[in-house]
């Protein structure tokens, strides 16, 4: 039973999913960056101290209650850059957990006004941590001058990875 769950699957569709999640992440962090004056700033519409008292789990995140606007802007700009790196396949294994942590922190910071789009990004970035991504469709592979693009494409088309994470995603 377990052997059939972890049977290999093609890596190319997983990395296409990675590219789409990376683009989604860029859009999400750009939107979150634009909402800082309204919801993220200490002087915005959300009373973060009240939110922390009412919902204690919102304290667990990267940002303190009175996080300065420059910290939020820098973090969300970093999220945009890291999402672009994820889409390009540059350091996916390192970037995905950082993006997930940043998305969870942004989600909890504005918990009183979250929507379905926040939850979708949060979930998609979780799967970037759990899935074996980064084996195909990567910019470093394309830029390496050791092989012709056709050879790289043939290697990408035949690449396979463990299917356990994919099957868990499908069950989810």
DSSP-assigned states of every residue in 12-33 = HHHHHHHHHHHHHHHHHHHHHH
Q: Decide if 138 contacts 147 (C-beta within 8 A).
A: no
H or E element: which one contains 161? strand 160-161
**What's the pLDDT score for residue 43?**
87
CA dist., res. 49 & res. 147, Å (int): 56
Taking the chain, what is the end-to-end CA distance rounded to the nearest angstrom? 18
What pLDDT does 169 receive?
A: 92
The values of phi and psi at residue 119, to 5°, are: -70, -35
Q: Extract the residue ranges of the chain whose pLDDT is less than 70.
A: 1-2, 145
Residue 124: what pLDDT? 97
CA nearest neighbour of 27 among 85, 92, 83, 71: 83
The confidence score (pLDDT) of residue 54 equals 92
**Closest by CA position to 133, among listed 84, 88, 92:** 92
Whether the CB-CB separation of 46 and 114 falls below 8 Å is answered with no
Q: What is the pLDDT of residue 34?
A: 96
Please give the pLDDT value at position 138. 93
User: Please, are residues 8 and 160 in contact by the beta-carbon 8 Å criterion?
Assistant: yes
């Amino acid at each position: 039973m377990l052997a059939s769950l972890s049977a290999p699957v093609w890596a190319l569709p997983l990395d296409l999913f990675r590219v789409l999640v990376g683009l989604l992440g860029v859009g999400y962090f750009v939107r979150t960056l634009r909402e800082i004056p309204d919801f993220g700033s200490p002087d915005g519409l959300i009373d973060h101290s009240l939110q922390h008292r009412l919902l204690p789990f919102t304290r667990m995140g990267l940002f303190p209650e009175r996080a300065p606007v420059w910290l939020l802007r820098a973090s969300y700009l970093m999220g945009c850059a890291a999402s672009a790196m994820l889409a390009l396949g540059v350091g996916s294994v390192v970037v995905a957990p950082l993006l997930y942590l940043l998305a969870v922190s942004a989600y909890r910071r504005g918990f009183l006004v979250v929507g379905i789009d926040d939850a979708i990004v949060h979930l998609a970035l979780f799967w970037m941590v759990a899935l074996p991504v980064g084996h195909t469709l990567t910019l470093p592979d394309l830029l390496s001058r050791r092989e012709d693009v056709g050879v790289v494409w043939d290697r990408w088309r035949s690449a396979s990875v463990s299917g356990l994470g994919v099957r868990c995603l499908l069950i989810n």
